[in-house]
């Protein structure tokens, strides 16, 4: 997973971290991260494997407070080699089903970085609509500031 996310983060500016930010992650920290995200009622990760190697992953997290437990959030990444094969669509279908089965969940939320037209296309196809904008949310290495958009799908 660590090798995969380092590679995925280097292939696009549309993920939230640069590859070098994972450099200090030990195998133990990664194991504990995976355990937290796989063995927890409120967080779930799905990984996609091609020939035994991770090709992509997605995560769904459920809020748990009385005032916000109707909300879920999702995130996704796939290695460039496997873009446009429908993997993202399949992963979203799974995450939406998971959210629909959970009692009381009314909406799924996500963010995407301005310019990520492929992601936006996928999210709109899956029924998400833009609800807001966070100006200058992301600062790239070259100093450029980029907006982030918030999206929501009602269940």
Ligand X SMILES: CC(C)(COP(=O)(O)OP(=O)(O)OC[C@H]1O[C@@H](n2cnc3c(N)ncnc32)[C@H](O)[C@@H]1OP(=O)(O)O)[C@@H](O)C(=O)NCCC(=O)NCCS
Which of 55, 72, 77, 108 touches ligand X (CB under 6 A)?
77
Contacts of 89 (CB under 8 A, 6+ apart): 122, 125, 126
Q: List the one residue out of 35, 37, 40 whose CA is nearest residue 59.
A: 37
Shortest distance, CB of residue 62 to ligand X, whole angstroms?
19
* Residue with Cβ nearer ligand X (77 or 99): 77
37 secondary structure, DSSP code = H
Residue from 1, 6, 47, 85 that binds ligand X (CB under 6 A)? Answer: 85
Q: Which residue is nearest to ligand X (CB)?
A: 88
Query: Under a CB-based contact definition with an 8 Å cutoff, are residues 154 and 106 in contact?
Result: yes
Instruction: List contacts with ligand X (CB under 6 A).
Output: 12, 14-15, 76-78, 83-89, 112, 116-119, 121-122, 125
């Amino acid at each position: 997973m660590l090798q995969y996310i380092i590679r995925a983060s280097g292939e696009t500016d549309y993920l939230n971290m640069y590859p070098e930010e994972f450099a200090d992650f030990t195998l133990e920290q990664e194991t504990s991260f995976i355990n937290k995200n796989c063995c927890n009622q409120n967080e779930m990760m799905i990984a996609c494997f091609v020939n035994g190697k991770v090709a992509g992953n997605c995560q769904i997290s459920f809020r748990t407070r009385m005032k916000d437990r109707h909300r879920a959030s999702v995130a996704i990444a796939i290695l460039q080699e496997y873009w446009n094969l429908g993997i993202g669509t399949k992963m979203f279908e799974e995450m939406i089903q998971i959210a629909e089965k959970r009692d009381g969940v009314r909406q799924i939320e996500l963010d995407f970085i301005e310019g990520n037209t492929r992601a936006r296309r996928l999210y709109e196809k899956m029924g998400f609509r833009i609800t807001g904008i966070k100006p200058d949310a992301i600062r790239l290495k070259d100093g450029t500031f980029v907006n982030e958009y918030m999206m929501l799908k009602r269940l």
